[in-house]
Structures are given as C-alpha cells and as structure tokens.
Structure 1
Amino acid sequence: MSSHTTAATRHFSGTYVEARAKFLEAAAARGAAIESFVHPTHRGALGEELATDVALLGAVDAKKVLLVTSGTHGPEGFCGSGAQVATLHDADLLARLERAGVALLLVHAVNPHGFSHLHRTNEDNIDLNRNHIDFGAPLPVNAEYADVEPLVLPAQWPPTPDDEAAVAAYIAKHGMTAFRAAVTRGQYTSPDGLFYGGTAPSWSNRTIRAILRSYAASATHLGWIDVHTGLGPYGHGEKIYPGRNTPEDLAMAHAWWGADVFAPFAGDSASADVSGPVISTAYDECPNARVAPMGLEFGTLPDLEVLDRLRADTWLRRHPEAPESQKREIRRRLRDAFYCDNDEWKGMVLGQTRVVLLQTLQGLSKA
C-alpha cells in the first residue's frame, strides 16, 4: 500500500457534503444498517440535503451498545466524522466488538446545519449542549450573562480597544473563572446571544431521542463517546465526564477510562459545568441502561482565541449586512477554531480516539 492510502488524513473531509458521503460509503461497505433523519426545513450551505445519519453494526436489540456521536457543535463534526470514518475502516477494532457482542452505533452530524454552515449552534442559534433540559420545569437562570453580553458582543467587529478594555475590566473584577462561566454556562434569555439553550427541544434534540429509542431501547449498558473540539491543549483529547454526579457513576468512568477523566462539576475540566448536554438524553430514553458517558474534547487553539472566534460568529448572526469578505473570514476562522486541518493533529485525534474506544469496549465487555 502506498503511504497515501494509509494516511490518517483520508478519513477526514473538507465539507459537510464530503464528510457525509465518506461516512455513508464506509458504513455501506461494512454492511451496517443505515438510517437517515433528514432535516425537514433547512438546507446546507451548498444547497444540499441536511441529515443526521445513523450506522449500526451489530444487533438492534443488543444489550451492550457503544455509541459515538459527531457534530453536536457544527464544525466540530470535521473531527468527529473523521474519527467515525476511521473506525469504520478499523477491521481489528470492529472484529473485537463483534466477538464481544457489543453493538457499534455511529451517529453522524447531530447538528448538520451547523456542520454545513460552519456555526457552532444550530439553525435557531441553539447550542445543543444547553438544549437537553426539562422544558416543563423553570428554565435555568444565568443571571450574570446579562452583564457580560454587551461586553462580548459589541456593536462592531472586530471590537474596539475600548470594548476589549471593558472585557478586561470585568475579568479583573470578577476573575477569569467567573467570566468564563457567565459566558459559556448557557443562557435562556437572549436568542441571538452566546451559548443560547432555546425555549423548547430542538429538531436535533428530538432526533437524538428518536435514535436512542430505536437503537438503544434494549440496552442494559451504554457507553457513549461524544467527540468535541476547541478546549484544552492542542491535540490532546480530554476525557470529560458529563454524566450524573454520583460516586458509583464517576467510579465506573475512572475504572473504564483511567485517572485522567475530569468532571466539569468537580472544577478540574476544561469544560464549564453546563446545563442540558446532549448525552443527558440517555438517562431519559434508556432508563434501564447503565450509562457511561464521555465528551472526548480535542484541543485546537488557546481557549480565549476560540471564544473570540465564537463571539465573531455570534456577532455575524446579528449583522447579516456585514460585507461578504468579512463573513467569509469569520466563517473560516470559526472552522479553524474547531478543526486543525493538518496531518499531525489528525493523527493525534485518531490515536487517542482508538484508545478510548478500546477502553469503552473493555468496560462494556466486563459489565
């Protein structure tokens, strides 16, 4: 084989259209059961169909399920899709899953609109990891957000020196941790603001629940890896535990994945302790399953740089009149904040993802 065909890069794509085609082709070649949930109202950046695609290898009524999701946050899907396609080409790993009787469930592009249009949020500016809450209960309150929004979303972009000084003053007064939490924890009051959670379940929320009901209803054990990017050191895959804060669940996560599992509620993770992550749907839809969830978060750029690019993206939603050249630049910079398009980073992603999938398989096998 030539080096070209063995290169990690072949599993990754440059657009949502290419990523979807590679995923469906690889799944079909493996004989996976494939189902597509097509977005009913929106099209992609190139006019294409948008869908969340599902590939199942193994029994639909399997007791033990390894679930891997990509694209919860739009352009983070470039990384997750590459990892999923590589897994479909990994004969050794797939044989191990089959021998263990563990079903592999791959959900490609949880947020296809954001993946195609290069937005972290969905068609309604909803951050899906803030949308999976109980909307029958009072909405979570983030009182500090109202104070920081005018600072992080100024009238013009890029921000003026005065705008930047105002942010610096807030951080000097309240501290970086409090600033980050106020901005990123999630808010339910400003629909065109940052990290907006919505006021009802999004299409993607309803879709992921339908997928769990169809493919994981019989599961007694569910290991769920949701691939993310944009936080932490470059190329490092932080193992974030986004599950329930119970000693036994945390102990299981450490037993499966090691000492380097970090929980946002413990304060040692690169991630804020957010309301309503996608993974929390497993507790609703698979009540008979022991759930082991992980957000596998690959670092890209320094986190304040990523946040600045998210601020620009959100500003752009508020300013559709911005010149085309500025729109293109903001889009490109957002993509680069969540996807490092180079061989080194992609190799780091695939190596670490494979370790986590093997660890999860071992955990499920022994459960």
Structure 2
Amino acid sequence: MNAARWFSASYGEARARFLRAAARNDIAVQSHLLATHRGLEDEQLATDVVRLGPPNAKRLLVTTSATHGVEGFCGSAAQLALLYDKPLQALLRKLDVAILIVHAINPYGFSHLSRTTEDNIDLNRNSVDFGQPLPRNEAYDLLDNFLVPEDWPPSRANERAIERYIADRGEIAYQQAVTAGQYTHAEGMCFGGRRKAWSTQVLQSLFTQFGSNCQRIGWIDIHAGLGPYGHGEKICFGKAGTEEVQRARDWWGADVICPGEGTPAESTAWGRVCDTLRTACPHAETAAIAIEFGTVPLVDMLHMLRADTWLRRHPDAPESQQHALRDEIRAAFCCEEEGWMGLTLGQSRGAILQAVYGLSRTGERSH
C-alpha cells in the first residue's frame, strides 16, 4: 500500500483534497467557516463535514481530525481514504450504520502547525463548565516561566532547570504538570480557555444535528505524538467501571486504556473534548476513544509543545526561525517515513471497522 499518497503537505492541500474527493464521489459537504482568521498561507479556514451510510441509520460513528491542530495530518489522511473506501461504505449499508467525518475540527491549528486554536486554546481541555470555578494546576504555575523562556532555543540553564524537575519528580509528573490543562496563563501551554472555543461550539452543534435521533453513537478522535512509534493506543476517558468503558472494550478490544483505572499511559486532564458528546446526546448509548499514534520520545514531544507556545508569544521572530520551528513541530507529530504512515492508516481503518461492527450489534456482549 502506498500510504504516503493519502497524506497532505499542508492544511490547505488536505482540505482541497477532501472537498475534491467528496465531489468526485457525489457526497454532500457541510462547511463551517472560521471567518475571523486566515491560514498560514492566507487560505480560508473551515471544518468540513460529510456523512456516509444510510440516511435513517440510528447508529452513528463520528471520526474527528486535528483536535490538536498540527496532529491532523494522519487523521486527515485516514478520513480522505474513507471517502474512497467502497467496501467499507457497502458495509455501512449492510449493517445500517452511518459515519460522520469531521475534517479539521481545529483548522487554525492545523494550518498554522500549532497544537492550539486561534485563541491558543487546547481544544481537549475546553469542555468544562465555565459557569463554575475552574480547576487550578498549581504544578504548572511553578513551571510556566521555565517552560516558555524569553529566548529560543532555551539556554543551558533553562534546560538544566527542566532536567532537575524531571530528575526530582519523574517524567510522568512532568507530563502531568504540563499537559493536564490550566486556566490561568492565557499565553501558556495547554490553556483550557475562559469560554467555549469556536471549535467546541461547532462540535456541540454537529452532535445535536446528527445525533439527536441516534440510539448508539461511537467516536474516534485521531491524535499523534504520544506513545511508542507507530503504535495506535486506544484511550477511553469514561469513568472507570462504567458501562461506557465496558462498551468501548466490547467494540475496540481489551487493550483499550482507561486512565481512571490508574494506567500511566495518559495523564489525568480536565475538559476532555469527549464530554461534548455526553452532554449533547445524553439519550444515546455512547463510547468514545482517542487513538494516539506514537511519534517521538515524550520529552522531545513536550519540547516541541514549548516551541509552539514560544512562537505564539513571539510573532515578530525572524521568518527563517519561524519556518524552521514549524518544520520541527510538524515532524514531531507527523513522521514522513512510509512505514509510520502505513501503520496509522491501517490501525485507523481497523478501529473504524471495529466500531462499525460494535455499533451494529444489538446489545449482546462480544466474545
């Protein structure tokens, strides 16, 4: 399989190919335009949505790409391949299941090769109740000045401060402090926002529109950057011991990880995007997973998140430096090697097929 042919070089190219594929296959597209901003190449930004399968299907699988912007390349490739996947589309008709493809839910981040939205919001930390007191990440408060230094690359003294933190507390504690989310430093890392982001509002409206009449809804949110190289780790953020977690394992297998059970693969975090499905469609049986495709070692990935945030804070940095840093950030979340691309596409299609079969079952436990 020539996996590289499904991967695009930029958000603009990915969107153009997605729209072209939909047109060639006579698939209607619903586009949500982010009218307040433009892309890195001054292109229009939008979240594009298509629905495959029987029009009256009561069982729906949702796939999303680019929740974390620059991570969108592998998710976009998997979604583009879906539009040409005739055997899978025939299976949808046979099993009476529909698929909603949400391409580039964070188009600004995808285009600008950033993990966050146009407002520097980490979309996967934004689904909290902003009418209530917001969580406080005191560990992040201690690290903020070290994480985003005034100059880039960081000085040796800055690197030693980070190294001491990891030596004293461990790599997992460092990851937790950085990525759990925070709501006090608007220009910092993993900022959850102070209101619902545009992308969160789009997701809520899509779930209401397409899920209001559905009895069962599954969701695969495709990410990159965490875990062993090329491995797709399936993570369910439902509460440990609930029917949702068991349903996720019935559909996707016993290797589904639930952080609430104490596994170290993914840190605890606030405001997960999957909460939008639970709140928008409380009537439906739901199961949602993030599938994380590993790229580079954890500390290297977090270093690129620091670089991303530094770029946000320094829009007047030399153009050559901005270009070089964006290339490095992209490389940390989308590997150019053919084998990695093939692994992400194959595992994405496998997870989609698992969900389709899981949704089609009438409630009996799988064996």
TM-score range, shorter chain: over 0.9
Report % sequence identity.
Answer: 49
Question: Does 1:30 pair with 2:30?
Answer: no
Q: Could you report, residue by residue, the CA deviation over 1:268-316 in whole angstroms, capped at 9, with x for unpaired residues?
A: 2532221112221001111111111010110111111011011011012
Amino acid in structure 2 at the alignment position of 1:20: R
Paired residues of 1:232 and 1:299 also in contact (CA < 8 A) = yes
Match of 1:255 in 2: 250
Question: Does 1:322 pair with 2:311?
Answer: no
SS in 2 for 1:151: helix
Runs of 4+ in 1 over 6 A off after TM superposition: none
SS in 2 for 1:39: strand
Query: Of 349, 363, 366, which residue of structure 1 is paired with 2:361?
Result: 366
* CA–CA separation in structure 2 for the residues paired with 1:26 and 1:18: 12
Match of 1:297 in 2: 292
Match of 1:169 in 2: 164
* Deviation, structure 1 residue 361: 0.8
Match of 2:106 in 1: 111
Paired residues of 1:262 and 1:269 also in contact (CA < 8 A) = no
SS in 2 for 1:233: strand
* CA–CA separation in structure 1 for the residues paired with 2:160 and 2:200: 38
Paired residues of 1:243 and 1:280 also in contact (CA < 8 A) = no
* CA–CA separation in structure 1 for the residues paired with 2:55 and 2:47: 18
Match of 2:64 in 1: 69
Match of 1:331 in 2: 326
* CA–CA separation in structure 2 for the residues paired with 1:32 and 1:263: 35
Paired residues of 2:225 and 2:332 also in contact (CA < 8 A) = yes
Q: CA RMSD in A?
A: 1.3
Paired residues of 2:53 and 2:89 also in contact (CA < 8 A) = no
Q: Could you report, residue by residue, the CA deviation over 1:236-282 in whole angstroms, capped at 9, with x for unpaired residues?
A: 10001123334322111111111211122223253222111222100
Question: Does 1:276 pair with 2:277?
Answer: no
TM-score (norm 1): 0.95
Paired residues of 1:279 and 1:293 also in contact (CA < 8 A) = yes
* CA–CA separation in structure 2 for the residues paired with 1:178 and 1:96: 44
SS in 1 for 2:74: helix
* CA–CA separation in structure 1 for the residues paired with 2:238 and 2:14: 29
Paired residues of 2:172 and 2:264 also in contact (CA < 8 A) = no
* Deviation, structure 1 residue 175: 2.5
Match of 1:3 in 2: none
Using the TM superposition, name which of 161-170 and 119-128 deviates more: 161-170
Query: Of 64, 82, 93, which residue of structure 2 is paired with 1:87?
Result: 82
* CA–CA separation in structure 2 for the residues paired with 1:41 and 1:251: 41
Name structure 1 gaps, 5 residues minimum: 1-5
Paired residues of 2:54 and 2:93 also in contact (CA < 8 A) = no
Q: Could you report, residue by residue, the CA deviation over 1:117-148 in whole angstroms, capped at 9, with x for unpaired residues?
A: 11100111000000111111111111111101
* CA–CA separation in structure 1 for the residues paired with 2:94 and 2:160: 59
Q: Could you report, residue by residue, the CA deviation over 1:56-104 in whole angstroms, capped at 9, with x for unpaired residues?
A: 1134553100111001111111110000011111111111111111011
* CA–CA separation in structure 1 for the residues paired with 2:56 and 2:93: 14
* Deviation, structure 1 residue 173: 2.4
Name structure 2 gaps, 5 residues minimum: 363-367
* CA–CA separation in structure 1 for the residues paired with 2:272 and 2:242: 20
* Deviation, structure 1 residue 10: 1.7
* CA–CA separation in structure 1 for the residues paired with 2:165 and 2:63: 39
SS in 1 for 2:187: coil
Match of 2:35 in 1: 40
Query: Of 207, 222, 229, which residue of structure 1 is paired with 2:224?
Result: 229
Amino acid in structure 2 at the alignment position of 1:310: L
SS in 2 for 1:250: helix
* CA–CA separation in structure 1 for the residues paired with 2:256 and 2:109: 28
Amino acid in structure 1 at the alignment position of 2:290: G
- Return closer, same or farther for 1:179/1:258 CA change in 2, 3 Å cut-off: same
* CA–CA separation in structure 1 for the residues paired with 2:193 and 2:56: 33
Question: Does 1:242 pair with 2:242?
Answer: no
Paired residues of 2:54 and 2:92 also in contact (CA < 8 A) = no
* Deviation, structure 1 residue 336: 0.6
**Aligned residue runs from structure 1 range 189-200, under 5 A:** 189-200=184-195
* CA–CA separation in structure 2 for the residues paired with 1:39 and 1:60: 28
Query: Of 30, 49, 53, which residue of structure 2 is paired with 1:58?
Result: 53
Paired residues of 2:121 and 2:193 also in contact (CA < 8 A) = yes
Amino acid in structure 2 at the alignment position of 1:329: A
Match of 2:365 in 1: none
Query: Of 199, 203, 207, which residue of structure 1 is paired with 2:202?
Result: 207
* CA–CA separation in structure 2 for the residues paired with 1:52 and 1:33: 14
Match of 2:182 in 1: 187
Match of 1:148 in 2: 143
SS in 2 for 1:148: helix
Q: Could you report, residue by residue, the CA deviation over 1:313-356 in whole angstroms, capped at 9, with x for unpaired residues?
A: 10121122322111111111111111112321111111111111
* CA–CA separation in structure 2 for the residues paired with 1:325 and 1:25: 33
- Return closer, same or farther for 1:269/1:21 CA change in 2, 3 Å cut-off: farther
* CA–CA separation in structure 2 for the residues paired with 1:238 and 1:63: 28
Paired residues of 2:34 and 2:45 also in contact (CA < 8 A) = yes
